[in-house]
Structure 1
């Protein structure tokens, strides 16, 4: 299985970086091909320039720094996203990756109706960390990140892909036992992808 693992956290020593490393190692040990992209290390620019925005719907949208990233995503059978949830949203860097890489003409055909173009993606796994307790995300906020990813992005661009999401709540105070249990949940989800 060809996995595109996209991680998004500015700190190399973050819990998210640790989780992305654990995921990559587990997959590689089982013979999967892993293409790991750390958006912060890559120096990815999340902002559309005025010229890019003007030409956004004039497919294909392939600025020089975006075309290689689209190619990497286009070769994947599985997409894994590892990021923190901040203010009940994905980090701006990851949002910019969706804005610039998942562009019309590549991820979807912009028309009525929208036509999905990421049909090679068979599965998507999201691993996120939150400082808040589970009940705020699930009961009060109604899982906004899950809704955006599953419905608006994956649903529109790769609707046949299996979608899974694992959230580590209270991540700022997680102990070794809680982390080990969460890593066990991740490995179980990964085993189900292949």
Structure 2
């Protein structure tokens, strides 16, 4: 397993940082090779410039400004996002990563004389995980339409392998969270990751053998 974790939060002591640590622990337990794109710590530039837009369809030259990130995307078979939901969607930094990195001939193939619409370009990705926090409640987030979740678990998911496995967990009402609510959420994330990464099956097999 080759996992790319895209992490987006400006504060190293955030609850999201705790979720990231749990994700990395679980990946290590699964024996995965791991690369992390810590967008704030890495100083990622999220703005798609006029020059990049002009060369957006110039493949493969369009990857030049973000070649390091593109190489990570092409390398991984597991893609995991950890971020806070702001205004019901993705932080500007993360949206900028999608804009600049998930390019034509990287994430999707453009229409041509034989195809009227775009085609998936991330078919090497067989697992897609999304772990976030939301200040709003579950019902309000759903009422608005959960645009951040839809962007990743529908939009990006459609570009991945046909049977791509997904995992999602959100701590809602984060602004009024408590120690117990955060602890309970980390337990949910842990269980989701065990299933997502196949650790639950491994433990079950081990129990059967020992019994």
Indicate yes or no: 2:200 matched with 1:193.
no
Q: CA offsets, 1:10-69, max 9 Å, x none?
A: 1111111121112112221332222111100010001111111001012122124x1111
Q: Which runs of 5+ in 2 are unaligned?
A: 198-211
> Is 1:63 equivalent to 2:64 in the alignment?
yes
Corresponding position of 1:176 = 179
**Alpha-carbon distance, 1:113 to partner:** 2.0
Matched, 1:116 2:117: no
2:83–2:131 Cα contact (<8 Å) kept: yes
> Does 2:198 correspond to 1:163?
no
CA contact (8 A) 2:166 2:196 kept: no
2:7 maps to which residue?
Answer: 7
- Within 1, Cα distance between the matches of 2:28 and 2:99? 29
Which secondary structure state, in structure 1, belongs to the residue aligned with residue 139 of structure 2?
helix
- What's the CA shift for 1:145? 1.6
Give 5+ residue unaligned stretches, structure 1: none
Q: Which has the larger radius of gyration?
A: 2
Residues 163-172 or 34-43, more deviating: 163-172
Structure 1 pair 30–149 and aligned structure 2 pair: CA distance change class (3 A): closer
- For residue 147 of structure 2, what is the aligned residue in structure 1? 144
Structure 1 stretches of at least 4 aligned residues deviating more than 3 Å after TM superposition: none
**CA positional deviation for 1:147:** 1.7
Shift of 1:142: 2.4
Deviations 1:101-145 (A, max 9, x none): 10011111011221111111001010010111111012x212222
2:131 paired with 1:127: yes
Count of aligned residue pairs for this structure pair: 191
How far apart, in 2, do the equivalents of 1:164 and 1:98 lie?
Answer: 19
